[in-house]
Chains A and B, each alone.
Chain A
Amino acid sequence: DGGITQSPKYLFRKEGQNVTLSCEQNLNHDAMYWYRQDPGQGLRLIYYSQIVNDFQKGDIAEGYSVSREKKESFPLTVTSAQKNPTAFYLCASSKRSTNEKLFFGSGTQLSVL
């Protein structure tokens, strides 16, 4: 089955710690995205990548970092600089990057200990 896999489902971060959220897709999609979702709010774009070895900041990139070394993988690191990291994180992909329909993973809930 083709799809997007996010792991872990739940993640806890201690103060001052960096944590990395995994996102893998086997849809052969060029573009991948990371969104943050807070309760009662819409999705806010953190980073996106249109092609391997290239990525752009979204609307709320501060305190986050990404890499795109392989087409299938787009991991997100939540750094200690992100002071309010508790949220639901969603990874998505699309065949190309120009406002095409997105396919989403099942999400990672990050909480601070």
Chain B
Amino acid sequence: GEDVEQSLFLSVREGDSSVINCTYTDSSSTYLYWYKQEPGAGLQLLTYIFSNMDMKQDQRLTVLLNKKDKHLSLRIADTQTGDSAIYFCAEGSSNTGKLIFGQGTTLQVKP
């Protein structure tokens, strides 16, 4: 079945770049998403990329998609303490018509 995998934890220093990685298995995915969750809150859509794109940039966020390797990454430039949160990768599965979420990557930003 469809599966989405993420590393569980990433720690960076304030001002550095953060790179959060995600792999997925469904080659028929049409959209891939990045969500951010702050403690005790719901998920906030950060950005998304259509499967026929390689890259998308939105201010400090850069999404890279390697469709051949089924690998998605989110780069946050000039990481701030306010970026500390859990980041979820999700794929839109054409097979099921639903989003499949990874386990989430906890980003810790040290001052």
Contact = CB atoms under 8 A, between A and B. Distances in A.
Interface of A: 4, 6, 40-43, 45, 48, 58, 90, 92, 97-107, 109
A21 to B, nearest CB: 13
A93 to B, nearest CB: 11
Given A42-B101, A98-B92, A107-B42, 17 more contacts: A40-B8, A42-B104, A45-B98, A97-B97, A99-B31, A99-B91, A99-B92, A99-B93, A99-B99, A101-B31, A101-B33, A101-B45, A102-B43, A102-B99, A103-B45, A106-B41, A107-B41
Given A42-B88, A42-B104, A99 B42 contact: no
Given A90-B42, A107-B40, A109-B40, A101 B48 contact: yes
Contacts, number: 57
Interface residues of B, number: 27
Given A99-B93, A99-B94, A100-B92, A43 B101 contact: yes
